[in-house]
Copies of this chain bind each other. A is one copy, B any other.
C-alpha cells in the first residue's frame, strides 16, 4: 500500500482540484492511501463534501501556504508550517512514500532538496517527465532544474532514466538518447560531445537525438541539460497551441467549414483525447532521497489524478532504491576498472 502525501493547497485550483483528483485516484488506484496536507477545517469540510472514504484518507494539518509567486528562499525560511514543507517532511520521516504538489515549482524544488537531500552518488536532482511520441512515450530529463550541467551530471541523469525505464516502463533494454543538434558524434558543445563518448560504453545508449526525432518514438529515455530540455518541452507546447489555434480557425472560417466541423467531431474528439496534455501531467523530481512529483499548477482533477499515479508508480516500483543500487554498482565497477585499482 503506497502512502501518498498531497499538498492540498498547491495549484491554481486548490484545494478542491486536489481533493477531487485524489478521489478519482482512490477509485482507480487500489494500492494507495492519501495524506491530505493543509488547513484542518478546510480539508475536513471538503472530505465530507466529496464523500471521501475515511479508510483511504487522512488529514495532516498545515497552517501555511506557499504562494505561487513566492521566492524559493523565502518559502524555505518563512513557511515552515506550510503544506509544502510538511508534505516533504512526511516523506523524510517515512510517514509517506511520496509527495505530490501542484504548487510553486522553484519552492518545491528548493524545499524538497533541502529536506530530502539527493541520493548518494547523485549530485543534482533532475526534473523528468514522460512525453508523448507517435507510438508511446519517452522519459525526458532534465526539464529545467539544472541550467548548467557537467558531463557527470548528464551521466547521472542517463542512469536515473535507465533505471526508471526498466522499473516503471518495464523495458529490459531501454534506448537512451542524448539530445543534440545532429546525429553525428562530433556535433554539439563540449559537454554533450564528452557525454556521448562516455555513454558509448553503455549498451543501452542509442546515440544522439535531434528535436525532430524526439516525438517519433525511437528513444525511451532522452537526456539533456535543463536549459535545452526546458526549451525543447516548451517549444513543443508552444507549437502545439499554435497548430490547434490554426485548426480551430480553419474550422470556423465559413458555414461550409463549420458544417465540416460537426461532421468531423468524432475524429476531432479522438484527436483531442490523444493529445490531451493532462495524460502527461506529473513531473518527477528524480535523484532525491524520497519521491516528489510536481503537477502542473493549472491542473484539473483528472490531470492531478495522473500526477498521483506517477507518484504511486515510483513508490511501488521502488525506483529510488534501484537508482541507489545502480549508482553503487557503477561506482564499484569504476573502482575496480581503475588501473591497478584491484
Q: Which residues of A contact B (CB under 8 A)?
A: 132-134, 144, 147-148, 179, 181, 188-190, 192, 210-216, 224, 226-228, 230-243, 245-247, 249-251, 253-254, 256-257, 259-261, 263-268, 270-271, 274-275
A271 and B250: CB pair below 8 A?
Answer: yes
Copy count, this protein chain:
2
Given A147-B189, A247-B271, A253-B270, do A241 and B264 touch, yes or no (CB 8 Å)?
no
Cβ-defined contact, B227 with A188, below 8 A: yes
A128–chain B nearest beta-carbon distance, Å: 16
Task: Contacts A181-B230, A231-B232, A232-B231 given; indicate if A250 touches B274 (C-beta within 8 A).
Answer: yes
CB of A239 within 8 A of CB of B215, answer: yes
Task: Determine if B215 and A241 form an interchain contact, defined as CB atoms under 8 angstroms apart.
Answer: yes
Contact B266–A148 (Cβ < 8 Å): no
Closest beta carbon of chain B to A59's beta carbon, Å: 34
Q: Which residues of B contact A230 (CB under 8 A)?
A: 181, 211
User: By the criterion CB–CB under 8 Å, are B236 and A236 in contact?
Assistant: yes
Closest to A246 in B: B274
Question: 10 tightest CB-CB pairs across the interface, nearest first?
Answer: A211-B234, A263-B263, A211-B235, A264-B264, A257-B267, A260-B264, A236-B239, A250-B271, A250-B270, A215-B242
